[in-house]
């Protein structure tokens, strides 16, 4: 078996061309995208949050897995890059684009929780972690990527990633799995068994 991704969202080719022209280099990998699509498909009628739209490649993967009754909110600080996503995906009524700081948005949001949170920027991952986790519904998934060391990481970033992983994995209200897949992922599912003593370890 190989790990080639065989089903690509129809909008991705156009988005990639625009991404190249814009010089944007932070879009998620194909393998991460394929997991996003699977997770979105696992939640008919699901409520999805993406922190960090970028140019919309992750958004395109999420949308490709969503059913007609699912919805997605995607938040991006940089209006210029998000415009590319809006141009390609803005006509989809299931998607709400928010332009602004993800931390401000997390602090101000008072709606229903989400079935899937893809935290792909600083707020919701390295800052505002608690708030992002609060917004994960029971049985819902929190997903982060870019966890395997990269030569481009600034000084101190590896230590920040280690702290983040430790913080997530010691929580009793989430079950976590590390995936050495694509840029390195962690998936955490909000479990209902806090304090019920069913852990085997
Ligand atoms: C890794 S990229 C997102 C990639 C996208 N999710 C994908 O899968 O293709 C991170 C994005 O976060 C944005 N960003 C940086 N700081 C932010 C903030 N404080 N609030 C919201 N977005 C932010 C950046 O402009 C960048 O577009």
* CATH number for the domain harbouring residue 118: 3.40.50.150
pLDDT surpassing 70 at residue 16: yes
Q: From the CA of 32, give the closest atom in ligand 1.
A: 8
Give the DSSP per-residue string, 134-158. Answer: HTEEEEEEEEE---S--TTPPTTHH
45 assigned to some structural domain: yes
11 assigned to some structural domain: no
199 assigned to some structural domain: no
pLDDT at 72: 98
Read off the pLDDT of residues 47-74 as tens digits, 9 standing for 90 and up.
999 999 999 999 999 999 999 999 999 9
Compute the distance between CA of residue 90 and CA of residue 97 in angstroms, rounded to an integer: 8
Indicate whether residue 124 lines ligand 1 (CB < 6 A). Answer: no
Indicate whether residue 22 lines ligand 1 (CB < 6 A). Answer: no
Q: Residue 190's beta-bridge partner residues? A: 174
Please give the distance of CA 49 from its chain centroid, rounded to a whole number.
7
pLDDT at 199: 56
Number of domains in the chain: 1
Indicate whether residue 104 lines ligand 1 (CB < 6 A). Answer: no
pLDDT at 194: 60
101 assigned to some structural domain: yes
Domain span at residue 132 reads: 27-190
Read off the pLDDT of residues 99-144 as tens digits, 9 standing for 90 and up.
999 999 999 999 999 999 999 999 999 999 999 999 999 999 999 9
Is residue 39 within 8 A of residue 65, CB to CB? The reply is yes
Q: Which among 59, 84, 81 has a CA at the least distance from the CA of 72?
A: 59
9 assigned to some structural domain: no
Strands (E), 43-194: 47-51, 71-76, 95-99, 114-119, 136-144, 174-179, 185-190
Q: From the CA of 74, give the closest atom in ligand 1.
A: 6
pLDDT-wise least confident of 5-9, 42-46, 158-162, 194-198 = 194-198
Give this prediction's pTM: 0.96
pLDDT at 192: 76
């Amino acid at each position: 078996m190989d790990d080639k991704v065989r089903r690509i969202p129809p909008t991705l080719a156009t988005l990639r061309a625009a991404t190249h022209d814009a010089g944007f280099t932070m879009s998620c990998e194909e393998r991460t995208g394929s997991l996003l699509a699977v997770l979105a498909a696992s939640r008919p009628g699901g409520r999805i949050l993406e922190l960090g739209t970028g140019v919309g490649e992750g958004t395109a993967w999420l949308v490709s897995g969503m059913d007609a009754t699912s919805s997605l909110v995607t938040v991006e600080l940089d209006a210029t890059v998000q415009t590319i996503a809006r141009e390609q995906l803005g006509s989809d009524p299931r998607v709400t684009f928010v332009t602004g700081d993800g931390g401000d948005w997390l602090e101000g949001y008072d709606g229903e929780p989400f079935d899937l949170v893809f935290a792909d920027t600083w707020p919701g991952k390295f800052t505002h972690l608690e708030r992002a986790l609060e917004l994960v519904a029971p049985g819902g998934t929190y997903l982060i990527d870019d966890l395997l060391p990269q030569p481009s990481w600034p000084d101190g970033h590896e230590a920040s990633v280690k702290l983040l992983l430790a913080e997530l994995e010691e929580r009793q209200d989430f079950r976590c799995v590390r995936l050495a897949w694509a840029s390195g992922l962690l998936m955490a599912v909000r479990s209902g068994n806090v304090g019920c003593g069913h852990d085997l370890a």
